[in-house]
Amino acid sequence: MNILTKLFFSFFKIGAFTFGGGYAMIPLMQAEIINTHHWLTHTEFMEIIAIAEMTPGPVAINSATFIGFRTAGILGATIATLGVVLPSFITVLIIAHLLKEFEDSPWVKALFSGIKPAVIGLILIALFSLGQSTLTEFKAILICLLSFFLLAKIKLHPIIVIGISALLGLLFY
């Protein structure tokens, strides 16, 4: 199997088996990209996730694009992005069609009630994984806590918080 086929099916699997968006995809993406295929080191993966979070657009699509590009150039970026997007696109088409018909069904309501806590669990795992490898020293923890405070309490715009964090990074490191 060539690299483009591996990229497509790896990201198709990531897109198909994770619910809850990009942050919920990070644990599966990490296992697939680092552990299974060894396309990136853990440090490289964390850097790509950080860049994907800062750039406009969904983190899963940005990550797939960056990883695909890093692995196989522009065609790799295109194939990986298509792979991660296609399952959601197909699923949304099917659900939109079926939801109209079954939106009042107790089975459908129960299904979504079960998925919601699982998504929160996946996001918490991603948070733990990112925090464990990033928050390794006091300066990083301080920037993290300040960013949280500025976002949660002061309600500062995220772009301003990213700018402040970047300046602190330049100052501290």
Task: Say if residues 91 and 110 touch (Cβ distance below 8 Å).
Answer: no
Looking at the structure, tell me whether residues 32 and 92 fall in a common domain. Answer: yes
- Banded pLDDT at 145 (limits 50, 70, 90): very high
Nearest to 21 by CA among 51, 55, 54, 62: 62
Looking at the structure, tell me whether residues 168 and 84 fall in a common domain. Answer: no
Give the range of the structural domain holding residue 169, as residue numbers without chain letter.
135-173
- Banded pLDDT at 92 (limits 50, 70, 90): confident
Task: Say if residues 46 and 133 touch (Cβ distance below 8 Å).
Answer: yes
Give pTM, 2 decimals. 0.62
Q: How many domains does the chain have?
A: 2
Instruction: Supply the angle between the helices 106-134 and 22-30 in degrees, to the nearest 10.
Output: 60
Looking at the structure, tell me whether residues 122 and 173 fall in a common domain. Answer: no
Looking at the structure, tell me whether residues 42 and 122 fall in a common domain. Answer: yes
State the average pLDDT over residues 66-87.
95
Nearest to 37 by CA among 66, 77, 9, 75: 9
Looking at the structure, tell me whether residues 19 and 83 fall in a common domain. Answer: yes
Looking at the structure, tell me whether residues 143 and 171 fall in a common domain. Answer: yes
Looking at the structure, tell me whether residues 110 and 156 fall in a common domain. Answer: no
pLDDT at 20: 67
Looking at the structure, tell me whether residues 7 and 65 fall in a common domain. Answer: yes
pLDDT at 111: 86
Looking at the structure, tell me whether residues 118 and 142 fall in a common domain. Answer: no
Looking at the structure, tell me whether residues 92 and 172 fall in a common domain. Answer: no
- The pLDDT tens digits for 24-76 are 788 888 999 999 999 999 999 999 988 888 888 888 899 999 999 999 999 99
State the average pLDDT over residues 111-128.
88
Looking at the structure, tell me whether residues 56 and 95 fall in a common domain. Answer: yes
Looking at the structure, tell me whether residues 19 and 74 fall in a common domain. Answer: yes
